[in-house]
Amino acid sequence: MINTLLVALGGAIGAVMRYLIGQIPLKEPFAFPVKTFAVNILGCFLIGLVVAIALKSECPNQRLTLFLKAGICGGFTTFSSFALESVDLIKNGN
Model confidence at 58, pLDDT cuts 50, 70, 90, reads low
pTM: 0.75
Model confidence at 85, pLDDT cuts 50, 70, 90, reads low
If one counts every other C-beta atom within 10 angstroms of the C-beta of residue 10, the result is: 22
Name the residue range of residue 78's domain: 2-91
The count of domains in the chain is: 1
- What proportion of the chain, given as a percentage, has pLDDT over 90? 22
52: nearest Cα among 69, 70, 77, 40: 69
Q: How far apart are CA 43 and CA 36, in angstroms?
A: 10
Q: How far apart are CA 57 and CA 54, in angstroms?
A: 5
Query: What average pLDDT does the segment 9-31 reach?
Result: 85
Query: What average pLDDT does the segment 47-63 reach?
Result: 82
Task: Return the half-sphere exposure (C-beta side, CA atoms, 13 A cut-off) of residue 33.
Answer: 21
Query: What average pLDDT does the segment 44-64 reach?
Result: 83
Q: Does the structure show a pLDDT above 70 at 39?
A: yes
The H-assigned helical ranges of 33-72 are 34-56, 62-66
Q: What is the pLDDT of residue 55?
A: 81
**Greater pLDDT, 48 or 8:** 8
